[in-house]
Amino acid sequence: MRWSRYFLYTLKEDPAEAEAPSHKLLLKAGFIKQVSAGIYEILPAGWRVIRKIESIVRKEMDRSGAQELLLTVLNPAELWKETGRWESYGNELFRLKDRNGREYCLGPTHEEEITDLVRKVVHSYRQLPLILYQIQVKFRDEKRPRFGLIRGREFIMKDAYSFDADDFSAMMSYENMKFAYDRIFKKLRLNVIMAQASVGQIGGTQSHEFIAFTDYGEAKVGYCKNCGYAANAEIIPLQKPQPQEEEEKPIEKIHTPNVRTIEELAKFLSVPPSKILKAVLYMVNDREPVLVLIRGDRDIDENKLEAVLGTEDFRLAGDEEVKDLLGTEKGFIGIFNLPEGVKVLWDNSVYGVKNMVVALNEPDYHYINANPGRDFEYGEFVDVAEIIEGDPCPQCSSPLKVKRGLELGHIFLLGTRYSEPMKAYFTDQEGKERPIIMGCYGIGISRVMAAIVEQYHDERGIKWPTPVAPFELDILCLNMSDPQLTQVAEKLYMEAEEKGIEVIYDDREESAGFKFADADLVGFPYRIVVGKKVKEGKVELQKRSTGERWDVPMEEAIDRVKEMIAEDKK
RNA sequence: CGGGGUGUAGCUCAGGUGGCAGAGCGUCGGCUUUGGGAGCCGAAGGUCGUGGGUUCAAGUCCCACCACCCCGACCA
């Protein structure tokens, strides 16, 4: 490909709207263009990367025995009504009507459709097990699209679905996919950890996430270097700690005017935040008050709270509600003088803390040295604290590491969550009708592209790993008005094409510096510089990932590159 | 959905107190230049996010709306 004819235009300045490195660099290097919030066009260079990612995924899926097909984007509402998700999926679902008023949605995922397909075709245990998959554009009207390709409202996804006759077989399919995912992320050169996860909206009995470590990830994963445990932070349990051994001091009421936050209070009273009882008032179903008590140095993980409450319909109480219900202000909410009808939940972290600082629902006052059993009684204990670095591993109690990451893949053992309501039954060996056991397995293809950029870039641009690079080699002719140079460059370009290298020839009428800067930014793994060394019969070979450079005789250059590419792709 | 911010040329931005719409980069024409985003000369390019209001006069003041970005809760 000649760059002078190629639809690849880079930006000189950082795009104002981008923050995350992948977002910034993909825009700047001309891989994507924004159309509206969370909706992007993928330009030719970007599409080459996507297609390479897809082909790696495809190869491993096929190898695992899965079969590719293509489902529809336009899904009839009826299928979604069968599983109840037409309602429960909420505003995330893009809904529309045809000319006859019939309702559809743009597919955000395809459990319904695939189950419908399979129930129409599969009737016997002889047709199982079965794994089907597709690579397709998905639509989700996200509350908050962000970071470019990291969270779009329209994105490319590989989704696979397994169908088995019994639980054991389903487990085998699940394990099969686990291994396939492991191979896929290795081939994509991504640093990914597999973590236990919650089943969430999709439902099911078991799930794992594949999380790439990045600064702009939205997932938090806790993992243990000692025993290998890894899980999404929102499902890591925290037990009650050992009660503190400490002499109980007399309780005392202290005037704390305008001291509201934990930090202010800790400073004002000269106590560590861990001695303060933090009280947070939530409104469940818009009107049932629930008071959550947690240690002052801890935060509430609202995912855990959702699991405890059994509903996602809750929110922090407003200032007015706090005043109406408790007769006080935020900052002075406590366990004393609580009105009837306020449910109280104690987080495990509070257990056994002695000589606590506690508010009493009276503005500008706190108790110090409050002690359980003497000054107040515990209520129901729950686990709602956010995991922090150093918390004990639930398997071996070693301190956990906590890191941010980006969820690239998610696999679920669904059981009969879809086959039961949709009556996807088969006849077993005994002639009995039974629901098919299902699993589903997703990889965010376009998000993978962003994740690769997050893990492979520097201050000058992207450093594509060779297996996913838009082109493997960039030939730079530094002076297009020097016929000696253009002749050499042309020859190398032809030779590279002949030898099967994916090559782009920078034949643009631009200055040397311009071409170097673009080569760094776009991030081709190898570069051959045709410049003044041609007089000595040499060109310069450069490797983007390491910055290494070699002067090589012109006639050897392409073969050298070819070897290095082959090495990279192993 | 709650909180914060931004909308002016293709891009990045400047335009106290209302008074002729600007710069750099890019683009087009010409000359010169070619190992790290070159230089000179000339030119084109704008419903100042949209609608309304105040005013002799609005990019600027007021109201409403829209879009985009960032922080929080959901997801691949």
pLDDT in tens, A482-532: 999 999 999 999 999 999 999 999 999 999 999 999 999 999 999 999 999
> What span, in angstroms and rounded, lies between the C-alpha atoms of A491 and A555?
10
Is residue A248 classed as helix, strand or coil in its secondary structure?
coil
pLDDT in tens, A519-551: 999 999 999 999 999 999 999 999 999 999 999
pLDDT in tens, A319-373: 777 888 888 877 788 888 888 888 899 999 999 999 999 988 888 889 999 999 9
- The pLDDT value recorded for residue A564 is 98
Using the CA of A299, give the nucleotide whose C1' is nearest.
B72
> How many Å from the CA of A512 to C1' of B35?
6
What is the dotted CATH code of the domain comprising A252-382?
3.90.960.10
- The pLDDT value recorded for residue A201 is 66
Bases in strand B with any atom closer than 7 Å to a protein CB: 1-2, 11-13, 24-26, 33-38, 67-76
Domain with CATH 3.30.930.10 in chain A: 17-66+122-236+402-453
- The pLDDT value recorded for residue A364 is 86
Please tell me which residue lies nearest to nucleotide B6, judged from CA to C1'.
Answer: A17
Mean pLDDT of the region A169-175: 97
pLDDT in tens, A298-310: 888 888 888 888 8
> How many Å from the CA of A550 to C1' of B28?
40
Domain with CATH 3.40.50.800 in chain A: 471-569
pLDDT in tens, A411-437: 999 999 999 999 999 999 999 999 999
Using the CA of A511, give the nucleotide whose C1' is nearest.
B34
> What span, in angstroms and rounded, lies between the C-alpha atoms of A272 and A226?
30
Q: Is a pLDDT exceeding 90 seen at residue A315?
A: no
- The pLDDT value recorded for residue A383 is 92
Q: Is a pLDDT exceeding 80 seen at residue A199?
A: no
> How many Å from the CA of A491 to C1' of B2?
62
Domain with CATH 3.90.960.10 in chain A: 252-382
CATH 3.40.50.300 applies to domain A471-569: no
pLDDT in tens, A101-118: 999 999 999 999 999 999
- The pLDDT value recorded for residue A320 is 75
- C-alpha count within 13 angstroms, C-beta hemisphere, residue A564: 22
pLDDT in tens, A284-296: 887 788 899 999 8
Residue A148 tokens read as: 């470019």
Which residues does A187 contact at the CB level (< 8 Å), separation at least 6? Answer: A56, A60, A467
**Average pLDDT, rounded, for chain A:** 93
> How many Å from the CA of A570 to C1' of B37?
35
Please tell me which residue lies nearest to nucleotide B1, judged from CA to C1'.
Answer: A143
- The pLDDT value recorded for residue A412 is 94
Q: How far is CA A380 from CA A326, A370, A383, in A?
A: 20, 18, 10
One-letter amino acid of A409: G
Residue pointed to by tokens 């500008």: A364
- The pLDDT value recorded for residue A76 is 95
A268, A260 Cβ separation under 8 angstroms? no
Which residues does A232 contact at the CB level (< 8 Å), separation at least 6? Answer: A195, A196, A197, A198, A209, A211, A219, A220, A221, A222
Mean pLDDT of the region A21-28: 94
| Sign of the CA dihedral with A34 first, then A35, A36, and A41 last | negative
- The pLDDT value recorded for residue A362 is 85
> What span, in angstroms and rounded, lies between the C-alpha atoms of A53 and A57?
6
What is this model's ipTM? Answer: 0.93
What is the dotted CATH code of the domain comprising A17-66+122-236+402-453?
3.30.930.10
